[in-house]
Amino acid sequence: MWLESSKDMDEKIKFFLKMSRDKYDKYMCKTYPDFFSNRNLPKTETCMCWGFDVGPGWYWILSDLCRKLTIIQKASGIGVIFTQIKEKYAGGRFYNNHRRIGSTVIEWNAEENDLWDRIIDNEVNTAQDLCEYTCAKCGEYKHDVIYIGRWAHDVCEKCLLKDRPDIKEALEDWRVRQDIKHSTLIWDANKKELASLKKINDNIYARMEKEHKAFMKKYGAGKGIRAKNKEDNK
């Protein structure tokens, strides 16, 4: 999924953040009518009846995906119909079906059709993955999905604390656990054990840094590993 320059991206995010859910709904259905042709069908026929069930921080991601799918549709004659747009486990879920659009004269064999299907799937999967690293509320980049109480939050730390100031202590514990990713046992550790693990973790990084500095002092940045191996073999 290619992205524009930082300035263009900031403007695009701001543009969509200003939209209410209803306004975004109308914008997407008007701009990409083929993709959301079943938006107003009853729930017995499609889950798109629930609309665009994602935060405003992800609006630009779905819009960009549809822009790319439009290009693919023009080139291949194969498009998609979205059947549900929602968040799940702090990631985007853009469920869809592929279909031939209109009375196209383009004829693809089975291998070529499969290739176009995989191209479409790749774009959809990339957009869904991008949601995991984007705050669903403010659209800012977030490094990790926040798990608290086995619940995955689709927002950044700043937005989470703004909405849930009561969760501050739990968020601090989560940060410690993020710093110590070497063992799954940390999820069951209490505060005292977490503090000990954090100290051990910091000591490990301090030792690694000390050893690296000693290595660079002895062999120099210009000598590198090959020079080290050559000297070791003397």
pLDDT tens digit sequence for 74-132: 888 888 999 999 999 889 999 999 877 765 556 778 888 888 889 999 999 999 999 99
Q: Do 84 and 167 reside in the same domain of the chain?
A: no
Average pLDDT along the chain: 79
Q: Do 125 and 19 reside in the same domain of the chain?
A: yes
Q: Distance from first CA to last CA of the chain, Å, rounded?
A: 50
Q: What is the mean pLDDT of residues 180-184?
A: 52
Q: Do 155 and 187 reside in the same domain of the chain?
A: no
Percentage above 90 pLDDT, the chain? 34
Tell me, yes or no, whether 72 lies in a domain. yes
Q: What total number of domains does the chain contain?
A: 3
pLDDT for the residue 194: 60
Tell me, yes or no, whether 64 lies in a domain. yes
Residue by residue, DSSP assigns 65-99 as: HHHHHHHHHHHHSEEEEEEEEEEETTEEEEEEEEE
Domain extent at residue 189: 180-234
Q: Do 92 and 119 reside in the same domain of the chain?
A: yes
Tell me, yes or no, whether 122 lies in a domain. yes
Q: Do 172 and 105 reside in the same domain of the chain?
A: no
pLDDT for the residue 196: 64
Q: Do 58 and 91 reside in the same domain of the chain?
A: yes
pLDDT for the residue 39: 92
Of 23-32, 150-159, 164-173, where does mean pLDDT reach its minimum? 164-173
Q: Do 96 and 34 reside in the same domain of the chain?
A: yes
Say if residue 127 is exposed, middle or buried (CB neighbours under 10 Å; 0-12, 13-18, 19+): buried
Q: What confidence tens digit (pLDDT) does each residue in 188-225 have?
A: 555 666 666 566 556 655 665 676 677 666 655 444 44
Q: Do 221 and 188 reside in the same domain of the chain?
A: yes
Q: Do 45 and 128 reside in the same domain of the chain?
A: yes
Tell me, yes or no, whether 92 lies in a domain. yes
Q: Do 193 and 155 reside in the same domain of the chain?
A: no
Q: Do 186 and 174 reside in the same domain of the chain?
A: no
pLDDT for the residue 67: 94
Tell me, yes or no, whether 137 lies in a domain. no
Domain stops at, among 132, 165, 200: 132
Query: Is the CB of residue 56 less than 8 Å from the CB of residue 137?
Result: yes
Joined together, the tokens standing for residue 23 give 């306004």
pLDDT for the residue 147: 82
Q: Do 125 and 11 reside in the same domain of the chain?
A: yes
Joined together, the tokens standing for residue 205 give 């990084």
Tell me, yes or no, whether 107 lies in a domain. yes
Domain stops at, among 75, 103, 132: 132
Tell me, yes or no, whether 138 lies in a domain. no
Tell me, yes or no, whether 1 lies in a domain. no
